[in-house]
C-alpha cells in the first residue's frame, strides 16, 4: 500500500484530504499536532515517533529529522534502494504533505521579540519538502492545501514535477525571508532579494516585436495590486500609464483627478466634486487627453461618467466605481476599469533596471518636511489666492518628467493645471511648451518648477506669458539674477529648498 507523510502547520483541509487517501488505500504517517488532528477525526495514523523509535526531542524542535524518514522519502525506485530500505525494516514513503511555520507573518508583527521569531523558523519541514521534491520521479510533494484536490486525481510524473518545482520555490522564498529578516538594518550593504510572480502574460511589450509579462509581488496579484473590472486585457503600455497616473493622484488629499498620456501627466485638478475635477483636468490639454489613462482618488459615480462626455479613454483607475457608474461605463467596450484596494502610498522603495543591475531609491513622497521651510524671496509676497495655487502647483508638478514646468490656476474652490511641459533637455523649452498648452489661460497663472532656474531666461519667458507667481527649489548660483528678474516683472517667488526630479 502507498504511504503518505503529513506534517502541516496550516491544517486547512488536511482531515478531508487524509480521509480521501485512506478510502483510496493509503497508509498515513503523521507528526505532532497533525497526528493528533487526524486521530481525533477517527483516522488510523502511524506516528513519526513509532516509525523512528524516538520521541520528539528538544521541545518539538526535532521530530522528522531521522534516517528512517528521509531514507524512505529519498529512496529511488531501483532494486538497490528498495533493498537498502528492506534491510533496515523501512518502507518507502510515496507522498509528503508539508506546510511551514508562519515565519513571515510572525516576523512582520510589530514589537515581536527575536526569540519568538527564531522559534518560527521551520527546519524539519523545509528538509522534508526538499527531500521529496528532489525525488519527484517517485514521490509526490504537496506544500499548499489548494493542491490536495488535484493530487487525488493526478499522480503522473508531470504533476509530480510541477509540485516539486512549487516546493523548491516555497523553500527558496522561505529562506530568503529569513535571510532578509536577519539582514534588516544593514541598509545598502545587504544583498537584495526580490521575488516576483508572473500573473499576466501580454500579447507584446511597448511594440509588437517585444515580449512582455506583468510580475506581481503576490502569486495571485492583479495589475498594480488592483482588480480589472471590465475591458480587454491590459497592455504593457496601459500598465505603465496606469502606474504613472495612480502614483500622481495619491499625494492629493482633496478629490483629485490626473490625466496621463505616454507616462506624462497632461492634466491635474482638485475640486470638492470629483466630477468637476475631471472636467478641469481634461481641459488642461484636451488633445493629449484623447486615448489617455485617468486616475482619481475617489469613487467614480454617474456624474463623473457624464463629465467625461464622449472622450475616448483607454483606462480608468479609482478606489471604486458605483453600480450606476459601472452600468454607464459598460457601454464603452474598449474601456478598462481598474479598482485599487487602497489610496495609501505603501511602497517604501522603487527600482529601475539598468545595464548590468538595478537602481534602488526611496519613493519620493513629497517634501520631507512641512511647508514651513518655504521662503518668499521676492519683494512682493504671493497673495492668498496665489499661495493656494502655488501649493497645488508644487504638488502637481512632482510627477511630471524633468525638466518639469507646470502652470496652474483656480476658480472658486477648484484648482487645476492649464499647461504642463516636461521631459526636455532644457527648462526654457519646458516653460514654452507649458505656455503653448495653456494659450490664453497662461496669463494670470502661477508656475511650479521641479528644480531651480539656473538663469533668468526661464523667468523672462514666464513673465512674457503673464505668469504672476513662481514656486521653485532655489539653490542655484544664478538665484540673485533670477530673483531680480522676478522682481522686475512684479512676480512673487517662493523657494522651497526641495528638488523633485523625475527622470
Tell me which of 11, 162, 166, 262 is the catalytic residue.
262
449 forms bridges with which residues in the sheet? 405
401 annotated active-site? no
Name the nearest CA neighbour of 124 among 216, 199, 60. 60
Residue 345 C-alpha from the chain's centroid: 10
| Element counts in the chain: helices (H) and strands (E) | 19, 21
**27-30 vs 3-8, strand pairing mode:** parallel
134 annotated active-site? yes
Q: What is the DSSP letter of 213?
A: E
- Mark out the alpha helices in 398-478 (DSSP H runs): 427-438, 457-465
CA distance 353 to 190: 19
Contacts of 50 (CB under 8 A, 6+ apart): none
Name the nearest CA neighbour of 168 among 199, 202, 133. 133
Q: What is the per-residue DSSP string for 67-112? A: HHHHHHHH--SSHHHHHHHHHHT-----EEEEE---HHHHHTSTT-
Place of cell 511551514: 100
Tell me which of 134, 162, 232, 441 is the catalytic residue.
134
Name the nearest CA neighbour of 387 among 373, 376, 403, 377. 376
Catalytic positions, written as ranges: 134, 262
Amino acid at each position: 500500500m502507498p504511504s503518505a507523510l503529513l506534517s502541516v502547520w496550516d491544517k486547512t483541509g488536511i482531515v478531508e484530504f487524509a480521509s480521501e487517501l485512506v478510502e483510496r488505500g493509503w497508509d498515513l504517517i503523521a507528526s505532532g499536532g497533525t497526528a493528533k488532528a487526524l486521530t481525533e477525526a477517527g483516522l488510523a495514523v502511524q506516528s513519526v515517533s513509532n516509525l523512528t523509535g524516538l520521541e520528539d526531542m528538544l521541545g518539538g524542535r526535532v521530530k522528522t529529522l531521522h534516517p528512517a524518514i528521509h531514507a524512505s522519502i529519498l529512496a529511488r525506485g531501483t532494486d538497490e534502494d528498495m533493498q537498502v530500505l528492506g534491510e533496515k525494516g523501512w518502507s518507502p514513503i510515496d507522498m509528503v504533505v508539508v506546510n511551514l511555520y508562519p515565519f513571515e507573518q510572525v516576523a512582520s508583527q510589530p514589537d515581536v521579540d527575536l526569540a519568538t521569531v527564531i522559534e518560527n523558523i521551520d527546519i524539519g519541514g523545509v528538509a522534508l519538502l526538499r527531500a521529496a521534491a528532489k525525488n519527484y520521479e517517485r514521490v509526490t510533494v504537496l506544500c499548499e492545501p489548494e493542491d490536495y484536490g488535484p493530487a487525488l486525481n493526478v499522480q503522473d510524473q508531470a504533476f509530480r514535477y510541477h509540485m516539486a518545482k512549487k516546493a523548491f520555490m516555497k523553500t527558496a522564498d522561505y529562506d530568503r525571508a529569513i535571510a532578509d529578516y536577519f539582514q534588516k538594518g544593514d541598509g545598502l550593504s545587504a544583498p537584495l532579494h526580490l521575488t516576483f510572480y508572473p500573473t499576466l502574460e501580454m500579447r507584446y511589450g511597448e511594440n509588437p516585436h517585444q515580449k512582455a509579462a506583468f510580475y506581481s509581488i503576490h502569486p495571485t496579484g492583479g495589475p498594480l495590486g488592483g482588480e480589472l473590472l471590465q475591458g480587454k486585457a491590459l497592455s504593457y503600455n496601459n500598465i505603465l500609464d496606469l502606474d504613472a497616473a495612480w502614483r500622481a493622484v495619491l499625494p492629493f488629499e482633496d478629490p483629485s483627478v490626473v490625466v496621463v498620456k505616454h507616462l506624462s501627466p497632461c492634466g491635474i485638478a482638485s475640486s470638492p466634486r470629483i466630477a468637476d475635477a475631471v472636467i478641469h483636468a481634461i481641459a488642461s490639454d484636451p488633445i493629449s487627453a484623447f486615448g489617455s489613462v485617468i486616475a482619481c482618488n475617489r469613487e467614480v459615480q454617474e456624474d463623473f461618467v457624464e463629465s467625461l462626455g464622449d472622450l475616448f479613454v483607454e483606462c480608468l483607475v479609482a478606489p471604486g466605481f458605483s453600480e450606476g457608474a459601472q452600468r454607464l461605463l459598460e457601454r464603452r467596450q474598449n474601456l478598462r476599469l481598474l479598482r485599487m484596494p487602497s489610496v495609501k502610498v505603501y511602497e517604501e522603495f522603487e527600482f529601475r533596471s539598468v545595464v548590468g543591475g538595478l537602481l534602488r531609491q526611496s519613493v519620493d513622497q513629497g517634501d520631507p518636511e512641512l511647508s514651513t521651510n518655504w521662503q518668499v524671496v521676492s519683494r512682493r509676497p504671493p497673495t492668498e489666492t496665489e499661495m493656494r495655487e502655488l501649493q497645488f502647483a508644487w504638488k502637481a508638478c512632482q510627477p511630471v518628467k524633468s525638466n518639469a514646468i507646470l502652470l496652474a490656476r483656480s476658480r472658486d474652490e477648484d484648482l487645476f493645471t492649464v499647461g504642463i511641459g516636461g521631459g526636455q533637455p532644457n527648462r526654457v523649452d519646458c516653460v514654452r511648451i507649458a505656455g503653448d498648452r495653456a494659450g490664453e489661460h497662461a496669463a494670470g497663472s502661477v508656475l511650479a518648477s521641479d528644480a531651480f532656474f539656473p538663469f533668468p531666461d526661464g523667468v523672462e519667458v514666464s513673465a512674457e506669458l503673464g505668469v504672476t507667481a513662481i514656486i521653485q527649489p532655489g539653490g542655484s548660483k544664478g538665484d540673485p539674477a533670477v530673483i531680480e528678474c522676478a522682481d522686475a516683472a512684479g512676480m512673487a517667488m517662493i523657494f522651497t529648498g526641495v528638488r523633485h526630479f523625475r527622470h
